[in-house]
Amino acid sequence: MRPLAVADLNPAVLNVQYAVRGELAIKADELNERLRSQEHRDKLPFSKVISSNIGNPQQKGLDQPPITFTRQTSNPADRASPALCSQCHSDGSKARDSVSYSITEGCFTLYARNMIEGLVVLTCVAALMEYPPLIDIVKDKWPSDVIERAQQLQAEIGSIGAYSHSKGIPLIRKHVAQFIEERDGFPSDPEDIFLTAGASAGVSLLLNVLITPHKTGILIPIPQYPLYTATLAQYSGVPLPYHLSETDGWSTSLEEIRAALTKAEADGTGVLPRALVVINPGNPTGALLDEKTMEELVWLCEEHSLVLLADEVYQDNLHRRAAHPFHSFKQTVRRLRSPVPLISFHSISKGVFGECGRRGGYFECCNVAPDVRALLYKMVSVGLCPPLSGQIGVDCLVRPPRAGEPSHARWKAETDAIHAALAQRTALMAARLNALPGVSCVDSPGALYLYPKLELPAGAVEAARKAGKEADTLYALELLEETGICVVPGSGFGQKEGEHHYRLTCLCPGVEEYVGMLEKFHVGFLKRYGSSA
Amino acid sequence: MRPLAVADLNPAVLNVQYAVRGELAIKADELNERLRSQEHRDKLPFSKVISSNIGNPQQKGLDQPPITFTRQTSNPADRASPALCSQCHSDGSKARDSVSYSITEGCFTLYARNMIEGLVVLTCVAALMEYPPLIDIVKDKWPSDVIERAQQLQAEIGSIGAYSHSKGIPLIRKHVAQFIEERDGFPSDPEDIFLTAGASAGVSLLLNVLITPHKTGILIPIPQYPLYTATLAQYSGVPLPYHLSETDGWSTSLEEIRAALTKAEADGTGVLPRALVVINPGNPTGALLDEKTMEELVWLCEEHSLVLLADEVYQDNLHRRAAHPFHSFKQTVRRLRSPVPLISFHSISKGVFGECGRRGGYFECCNVAPDVRALLYKMVSVGLCPPLSGQIGVDCLVRPPRAGEPSHARWKAETDAIHAALAQRTALMAARLNALPGVSCVDSPGALYLYPKLELPAGAVEAARKAGKEADTLYALELLEETGICVVPGSGFGQKEGEHHYRLTCLCPGVEEYVGMLEKFHVGFLKRYGSSA
């Protein structure tokens, strides 16, 4: 028997890189393990790991202190006037008693409390779906719209333990289509909607279907969310990178895309550009596209017969809505009466929902021929169906309580407060980062991240080279080891030769304390590697 | 703009076939739609579609009549002595009131009621995970072990809305390892366990990783579960089929596998056999491997340096446990001290659980080098994490209540009854099918299916040929159109040239009425195509 070696495996899979959960995240796991034992804990210069590498709003905050916006967490100082659960009117004090972490910042307390309450409609609907007899127990305690919602879903779905239609529950797809119609002012057909296990599953499916190995080029922004490069590697697609303009707030430039197309043609490798990936709001940049650029992008897709893949999972994370609103590509394509095939992705993992663990999302096909759609249906059938828990999440995402319904006023107040808190935190973090020597940071108008640029001392670049690492990876590793803060080096997202960035989420406990740690580390790093930059 | 055509897409994806949700299932969907409208309903010769094409035990039975073992369903005649929910002591009468379907068979009533109650531990734990404050509402009503289980999981997981570790929650992986150790008597390492969104997701990952496109051969049984051929097509793997012996109860023959290996070598295409897929208990056959055959299979893998992929999702669906017990390949490999790399798959979708909609399962790696395991970890990271709802399902699957715990006695009685009911139904269906002219059917000792063989009249074969279909597809389509029963033609699973089969689940309402419809259709089909066989 010859043992199975890595060299025996699919070379495409070997090429996959996924930095969000790569070297840094594995190191963070190890540190978390060490924090669990008294002996090792005492040797570490921090008491908790803060996973700023991933936009995971509900990450756990109990035996490990809370990193971000968890539902079970609140400010102990707030206990004198506990926030009553809007549904069952309990004050959640049981959950709080087990929380030892002290929160030092008002807006986080607000955010955390809002996360507890703002999501109660979903958790209540979901709990009733798990165990229908609960309706009898809670029907006098919970608002009537929650009960009605759960009963309607139960009548349609039956047991959440059964496989659903492979494209997702028809009634929920109808609700998604209604949501899209109301958002855009153009019709949407439930048959064009596919529910998925998060947006990632949809992106992976579409890339698998569009890519003929080694022959298909996919235009991707740089920096990009590494799902795209990872999946391109997995399916042997050819990335055709186009750079976003950092000096112009990470704007998208048509010239960059045209240059990438020209370069692909000039290469003489016969690679055929097939699709354009646009992430709007951007990840990791947080940039928002204006309508004029969107129109130009659609026309460019027409000109080059490209499929437009619109990753719009952060469409509800807008920090300055008036100046930087969100427009969907579906609306743009319909308004222009364009024939461009468009796939738009959305998710329950982001926005004010942050319901990452349910794995829910959807994509909508627009201008996609029935036989191509049938092929997508065949492919999702092999995976049977998306998780019902995620599908129910999608239903709650696209049907928030409406004005006049019992849950509406509270829902509105809570979600408004969540948006305000995230906007405030993002602006504060950007301002503080920009004040550091050798750091410049676009103040993102959307999404959950900042992507600061670092001018690193030559000594650090040289030390990294000797260690066989990128300089920003060295920076991120030392940050993790010194402070417990886990970020993702820019090399995972892509950047120009010689540039250095990192991505950090704007989800964190105690922004003052957190930014203070970042600042202290940064100044020490510059000193250590011989620069006063 | 040139529109996106099917011919532009990945040719590997075009080749994917998945009969379980293929032509028949799409036709069944259409019929279901027609049943929803009065006008069309009156033109159909049946009042409900029975989806016997898929092992989906909890399929919905409300506005469409129940097809199989749903939790919300019970026998209206049984209402005089309602079965109290073992946890909340409600009789579930609310749910029953909305059920108009009348069940005609004792064992189904029993099975359905058991499904309601047997799964209460899971639904209660899951409901408490959805909405932790429920603990305060139900703590005096539900057994203490349910409450403790939920509290333990809450302490470990925090919110089910957060991404977990990409391999699954560490505590649940530890519980899986303990389950495997108790089952096999050999150690299991939680680091070798990957939780997945059902077994299908695990199989897909492993095939993607093992297959170098167009160069890697994978030995698969014929008949097989079409996930394997579909995924091989998707990843451009080369299927190396080996036939199971129908005349010997669908046994696995080493000679057949050796012949497939010899044929692959003789082909001169340079395809390298890399893995052997074994489905035990078999799907669609229900056959169980004996220990001697398992040892020989392991030795054969050693001899040919094959990875053993053991699909063991039906390990708890055993109809004659004494004569046909289940042995895991993990136990065999460890007992033989074999170095064969083994991946074993399990699922919450089958067994007495049938929790298909949660999408939960796991695979265990055995004799897999750390660097190969790290590569699997990298790949699952790109998909972020399996659904939390499925992960919690896995925890309940591997930790049923133990003797002495408050929920145990009832759990034991209920699951015993579920097993007995399925065994009884399978035996009855096999006997009745065998009594039909031109039908022979191995009486499966395991899994959820029967796979009868049909001797079809020449007239039917000819009619099918003219319609461009396989004869068993013609049979299945006419069965669906006449009775509403949806089965999967044998051509989807594979069979010898000129043979005809179909797969049907042994999950159905009213077995007497159901088998009666099958019999009547079959006799009419033979008459229609000019045979009295």
Q: Which residues pair with A145 in a beta bridge?
A: none
CA atoms within 13 A on the CB side of A503: 28
Q: Could you identify the residue written with the tokens 């964190």?
A: A508
Confidence check: pLDDT of A60 > 60: no
- In angstroms, rounded to a whole number, what is the distance separating the alpha carbons of residues A161 and B351? 13
CB B365 within 8 A of CB B194: yes
Residue B121 has pLDDT above 60, yes or no: no
Residues β-bridged to residue B449: B505
pLDDT at B286 over 90: yes
Q: Is residue B22 part of a domain?
A: yes
My answer on whether A416 and A377 are in the same domain is no
For B88, name the nearest residue in chain A, comparing CA atoms only: A133
Percent of all residues in chain B with a pLDDT value above 90, rounded to a whole number: 45
Short-list B153, B277, B133, CA closest to B203: B277
Question: What pLDDT band is residue A443 in, cutting at 50, 70 and 90?
Answer: very high
Order of strands across the sheet that contains B342-347:
B193-196, B361-366, B342-347, B307-311, B272-279, B216-222, B238-243
Tokens for A310, please give them.
């619109």
Within 8 A by CB and 6+ apart from B383, the residues are: A197, A198, A200, A201, A204, B166
Closest chain B residue by Cα to residue A237: B10
List the structure tokens of B211: 């297959």
Name the residue among A200, A274, A375 with its Cβ closest to that of B13.
A375
Q: Are B491 and B23 in contact (CB under 8 A)?
A: no
Q: How close B204 comes to chain A (CA, Å)?
A: 9
Which residues 6+ apart lie within 8 Å of A463 measured at CB?
Answer: A474, A529
Contact A358 B390 (CB under 8 A): no
The count of other CB atoms within 10 Å of the CB of residue B140 is 7
Identify whether residues B340 and B450 lie together within a single domain: no
**The domain spanning residue A233 has which CATH number?**
3.40.640.10
Rounded to 5°, angle at Cα B423 from B421 and B426:
105
CA distance A208 to chain B (A): 7
Rounded to an integer, the average pLDDT of A436-452 is 93
If asked whether residues A469 and A507 sit together in one domain, one would say yes
What's the CA gap between B289 and B299, in Å, rounded? Answer: 15
Residue B145 lies in a domain: no
Contact at CB, B305 and A355, closer than 8 angstroms: no
Encode pLDDT of B444-498 as tens digits.
Answer: 999 989 999 999 999 999 999 999 999 999 999 999 888 888 888 998 898 888 9
Looking at the complex, report in whole angstroms how far the Cα of residue B4 sits from the nearest Cα belonging to chain A: 7
As for the ipTM of the complex, it is: 0.80
A97 pLDDT more than 60: no
Q: Give CA–CA dist B332/B280, Å, rounded.
A: 13
B chain contacts of residue A13, beta-carbon cutoff 8 Å: 208-209, 375, 379
Q: Which of B353, B379, B398 is the last residue of a domain?
A: B398
**Cβ contacts of B349 on chain A, cutoff 8 Å:** 163
- The chain A residue lying nearest B214, using CA atoms, is A10
Alpha-carbon distance values, B101 to A164, B94, B246 (Å): 21, 15, 37
Whether residues B393 and B442 fall in one domain: no
pLDDT for B59 equals 55
Chain B: give the shortest CA distance to residue A445, in Å: 24
Report whether B54 contacts B505 (CB < 8 A): yes
Task: Round to whole Å and give the CA distance between A367 and A427.
Answer: 39
Each residue's pLDDT tens digit, A332-352: 999 999 999 999 999 988 887
CB contact under 8 A, A62 and B130: no
Contact A6 B302 (CB under 8 A): no
Same domain as B380, residue B284: yes
Q: What strand order describes the sheet that includes A238-243?
A: A193-196, A361-366, A342-347, A307-311, A272-279, A216-222, A238-243
Same structural domain, B434 and B388:
no
Burial A19-45 (b: 16+ CB within 10 A, else e): bbbbbbbebbbebbeebeeeeeeeeee
CB of A232 closer than 8 Å to CB of A220: yes
The arithmetic mean of pLDDT across residues B51-66, rounded, is: 50
Whether residues A230 and A298 share a domain: the answer is yes
Residue A368: which of B4, B13, B274 has the nearest Cβ?
B4
Residue A493 maps to a domain: yes
Strands B307-311 and B272-279: parallel
How many structural domains is chain A composed of?
A: 2
Choose the weakest-confidence range: A35-44, A393-402, B312-321, B460-469: A35-44
Q: Say if residues A30 and A16 touch (Cβ distance below 8 Å).
A: no
Strand partners, B500: B454
Q: What is the pLDDT of residues A173-190, one digit of tens each?
A: 999 999 999 999 999 999
Weakest-pLDDT range from A161-170, A469-478, B141-150, B519-528 = B141-150
The angle at the Cα of B445, spanning B439 to B448, to the nearest 5 degrees, equals 80
CA distances from A57 to A71, A126, A200, A391, B202 (A): 10, 19, 17, 19, 27
Residues B526, B496: Cα–Cα separation, whole Å: 22
Looking at the structure, tell me whether residues B77 and B219 fall in a common domain. no
Cβ contacts of A14 on chain B, cutoff 8 Å? 375
Q: Quick one: closest CA in A to B232, which residue?
A: A382
* Maximum average pLDDT range among A140-144, A355-359, B26-30, B205-209: B205-209
Chain B residues in contact with A157 (beta carbon < 8 A): 60
Question: Span B269-286, mean pLDDT?
Answer: 94
- The radius of gyration of chain B's CA atoms, rounded to the nearest angstrom, is 24
Q: Is residue A139 part of a domain?
A: no
Q: What's chain A's average pLDDT?
A: 80
Higher-confidence residue of A283 and A416: namely A283
Instruction: Examine the pLDDT at B50 and tell me if it is beyond 80.
Output: no
Per the structure block, which two tokens stand in for B466? Answer: 């003219």
Q: What is the mean pLDDT of residues A404-426?
A: 80
Range with lowest mean pLDDT among A376-380, A391-395, A439-443, B36-40: B36-40
Of A194, A299, A193, A288, nearest to A248 by C-alpha is A288
Domain co-membership, B380 together with B261: yes
In a domain, A105, yes or no: yes
Mutate to test the interface with B, among A192, A382, A391, A507 (most CBs of B within 10 A): A382
Model's pTM, two decimal places? 0.83
Q: Do B163 and A138 touch (CB under 8 A)?
A: no
Same domain, B384 and B433: no
pLDDT (tens digit per residue) in A485-532 = 888 899 889 888 899 999 988 876 677 888 898 999 999 999 999 865
Confidence at B25, pLDDT banded by 50, 70, 90: confident
Asked whether the beta carbons of residue A4 and residue B388 sit closer than 8 angstroms, the reply is no
Chain B interface, best mutation among A72, A74, A86, A131, by max B CB count within 10 A: A131
Q: Which residues of A touch B90 (CB under 8 A)?
A: 133, 136
Q: Do B359 and A385 touch (CB under 8 A)?
A: yes
- Which residues form the domain of B363? 172-398
Domain end point (choices B398, B417, B437): B398
- The alpha-carbon gap from B385 to the nearest alpha carbon of chain A, in Å, equals 7
Taking contacts as CB-CB distances below 8 angstroms, the residues of chain A near B236 are 213
Question: What 3-state class would DSSP assign to B414?
Answer: helix
Nearest CA to CA, how far is A155 from chain B (Å)? 7
Task: Tally C-beta pairs within 8 A across A and B.
Answer: 338
Please, which pLDDT band fits residue B103 given cuts at 50, 70 and 90?
very low
Torsions phi, psi for B125 (to 5 deg): -60, -45
**Which residue among A13, A208, A368 places its CB closest to the CB of B379?**
A13
Alpha-carbon gap, residue B240 to B264, rounded angstroms: 7
pLDDT, tens digit (0-9, with 9 covering 90-100), for B359-381? 999 999 999 998 889 889 988 88
Of B155, B354, B378, the CB nearest to A16: B378
High-pLDDT (> 70) share of chain B, %: 82
B226-269 pLDDT, tens digit per residue, is: 899 989 998 999 999 999 999 999 999 999 999 999 999 898 88
- Residue A368: list chain B partners with CB under 8 A: 4
* H or E segment to which residue A174 belongs: helix A170-184
Same domain, yes or no: B325 and B263: yes
Which chain A residue has its CA at the smallest distance from B127's CA?
Answer: A127
The answer to whether residue A226 sits within a structural domain is yes
Domain membership of residue A281 (yes or no) is: yes
Q: How far apart are the C-alpha atoms of A300 and A303, rounded to whole Å?
A: 5
pLDDT of residue A297: 98
Of the residues A338, A373, A398, the one at which a domain ends = A398
The band of A67, judged by pLDDT with boundaries at 50, 70 and 90, is very low
Interval A202-228: pLDDT, tens: 999 999 999 998 889 999 999 999 899
The answer to whether the CB of B201 falls within 8 A of the CB of A383 is yes
CA A414 – CA A119 distance, rounded (Å): 9
Quick: pLDDT tens for A270-313.
899 999 999 999 999 999 999 999 999 999 999 999 999 999 99
Chain A residues touching residue B274 (CB < 8 angstroms): 8
Q: Is residue B154 part of a domain?
A: no
A323 and A352: one domain? yes
The chain-wide mean pLDDT, for chain B, equals 81
Q: Tell me if B49 sits within 8 A of B35, measured CB to CB.
A: yes
How close B305 gets to chain A, by Cα (Å)? 5
